[in-house]
């Protein structure tokens, strides 16, 4: 096992979904995977492996924010050899081009996080999705007729912003939605030459104030999960 994940070597599949919420991990395993087995309950951050259309797939909760997600992604890459990482999260819409329950495919992630500030010492790193996964997800979203947008998200260290004018500044430059993990996941995957993508569902609208409930956030984001799973299976693994 690694420090924060109780799996034995080989128990985690090369393809993995990464919801922030561990209860969403359980819901995904129970709803979308066949023969799913829980491999870790450390700190309640549940992880499962099963199959989707005959291919092994895992799903691991990452917690909220880049420091927490970073712990899981580091261990999944370094100690379990995962190759394809697809975050399935909720996000807040920052523009009236998006509606609640729309799917957002994150082509890139801006961030206010000190994780990349410290890592790059003042250089501004472009955290970007894997193109093959992104294209496959756009194809899957189109095939399912899901309202979706390909664009840039803002991976913020804050859910409650003390300086909303700074978020308004990134919106001026086209950022469509806010969430809290993607920049770190894309950066770690790029360094390790792995494939990463974020597929988010708009859970609330910062402009209109519309929201979904906590149980909807946990359980009703099925389009996002189907799109993520189909994109993974349609994309050859980097090591293949
Ligand atoms: O729904 P998840 O995947 O947790 O993602 C979003 O929700 C949390 C905040 O409520 C943050 O983790 C944010 O990124
Ligand atoms: O507004 C929101 C919604 C989901 N996740 C966030 O980080 N912000």
pLDDT tens digit string along 211-230? 888 777 665 589 999 999 99
ipTM of the shown complex: 0.97
SS (H, E, C) the chain: CCCCCCCCCCCCCCEEEECCCHHHHHHHHHHHCEEEEEEECHHHCCEEEEEECCEEEEEECCCCCHHHHHHHHHHHHHHHCCCEEEEEEEEEECCCCCCCCCEEEEEEEEECCHHHHHHHCCCCCCEECCHHHHHHHHHHHHHCCCCEEEEEEEECCCCCCCCHHHHHHHHHCCCCEEECCHHHHHHHHHHCCCEEEEEEEEEEECCCCCECCHHHHHHCCHHHHHHHHHHHHHCCCCCC
**Cα separation, 117 vs 111, whole angstroms:** 9
**pLDDT recorded at residue 198:** 98
Ligand 2 atom nearest residue 180's Cα: 7
Which of 3.30.70.1450, 3.10.20.600, 1.10.12.10, 3.40.50.1580 would CATH assign to domain 15-234? Answer: 3.40.50.1580
* Ramachandran angles phi, psi of 205, nearest 5°: -115, 115
Ligand nearest to the CA of 27: 1
Q: Which residue in the list 78, 112, 204, 223 is annotated as catalytic?
A: 204
**Cα separation, 14 vs 5, whole angstroms:** 15
Q: Which of 39, 73, 74 is nearest to 58 (CA)?
A: 39
**Cα separation, 72 vs 78, whole angstroms:** 10
**Cα separation, 142 vs 100, whole angstroms:** 18
Ligand 1 atom nearest residue 88's Cα: 3
pLDDT tens digit string along 43-95? 999 999 999 999 999 999 999 999 999 999 999 999 999 999 999 999 999 99
Domain boundaries, the chain: 15-234
Query: How confident is the model over 128-150, as a mean pLDDT?
Result: 97
Q: Which of 16, 17, 21 to mutate to test the pocket of ligand 1 (most atoms within 8 A of CB)?
A: 21
The answer to whether residue 223 is catalytic is no
Query: How confident is the model over 148-152, as a mean pLDDT?
Result: 97
Residue 201 CB–ligand 2 contact under 6 Å = no
Q: How far is the CA of 54 from the centre of ligand 2 (A)?
A: 33
């Amino acid at each position: 096992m690694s420090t924060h994940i109780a799996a034995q070597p080989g128990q985690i599949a090369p393809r993995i979904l990464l919801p922030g919420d561990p209860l969403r991990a359980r819901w995904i395993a129970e709803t979308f995977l066949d023969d799913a087995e829980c491999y870790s309950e450390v700190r309640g951050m549940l992880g499962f492996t099963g199959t989707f259309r005959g291919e092994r797939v895992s799903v691991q909760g990452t917690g909220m924010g880049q420091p927490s997600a970073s712990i899981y992604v580091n261990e999944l890459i370094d100690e379990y050899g995962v190759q394809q990482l697809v975050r399935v999260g909720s996000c807040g819409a920052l523009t009236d081009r998006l509606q609640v329950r729309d799917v957002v495919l994150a082509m890139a992630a801006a961030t206010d996080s000190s994780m990349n500030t410290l890592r790059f010492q003042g250089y501004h790193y472009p955290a970007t999705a894997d193109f093959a996964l992104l294209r496959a997800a756009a194809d899957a979203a189109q095939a399912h007729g899901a309202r979706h947008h390909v664009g840039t998200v803002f991976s913020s260290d804050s859910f409650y912003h003390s300086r909303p004018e700074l978020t308004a500044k990134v919106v001026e430059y086209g950022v469509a939605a806010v969430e809290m993990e993607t920049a770190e996941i894309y950066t770690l995957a790029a360094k390790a030459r792995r494939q990463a993508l974020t597929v988010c569902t708009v859970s609330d609208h910062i402009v209109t104030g519309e929201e979904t409930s906590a149980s909807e956030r946990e359980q009703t984001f099925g389009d996002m999960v189907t799109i993520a799973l189909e994109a993974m299976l349609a994309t050859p693994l980097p090591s293949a």
